[in-house]
Amino acid sequence: MLLAIDAGNTNIVFAVCEGDTIRAQWRAATTTSRTADEYGVWLAQLLELESLNFSDLDQAIIATVVPDALFDLRNLCRRYLHCEPLVVGAPDVTSGLTINYDRPDGVGADRLADAVAAHDRYKGALIVIDFGTATTFNVVSEKGDYEGGVIAPGVNLSAGHCIKLPPFCRAWHFTGR
């Protein structure tokens, strides 16, 4: 089975995948000071609740937008799963899509994973929107190429700032069809 790790700015999501089925999924706060052993102890207990253990996991993939978390997540996979994880966006890992962007290395792992998954599921040209700490809008061509996108503040981040505005600024009215 595969351990998929998505390390975002706010949360790290761990999922155990068996083929196309997600067998289990857990979320932890993103903390760059957490060590591989701390992840290991935490994950071992959660796996046990699902009648799973590290020996059931033989593959791992990591997508992270938090570079400081990568070292310990890699070591978690090496030490407890006894495997070398694939790292989305690493030079030696191919995503299967062409990145038509001025700075291909500037496209985050989250955006690449979104583009690959969306094109795999929905053929044709797409705009992929991901509501996280940041809201990303990504354009995928009909061929599945990454064409670029926009990053905006996430909903919670934006809402937190709106609360501080005077009451007349918070009264939003939308019209249209």
Q: Which residues are catalytic?
A: 110
Which pairs from 89-94 meet CB under 8 Å and 24+ separation?
Answer: 89/63
CA dihedral over 33, 67, 108, 76, signed as positive or negative: negative
What is the C-alpha separation between 119 and 18, in angstroms, rounded?
A: 21
**What amino acid is encoded at 177 in this protein?**
R
Q: Which whole-number Å values give the CA distances from 13 to 64, 81, 173, in the listed order?
A: 10, 17, 35
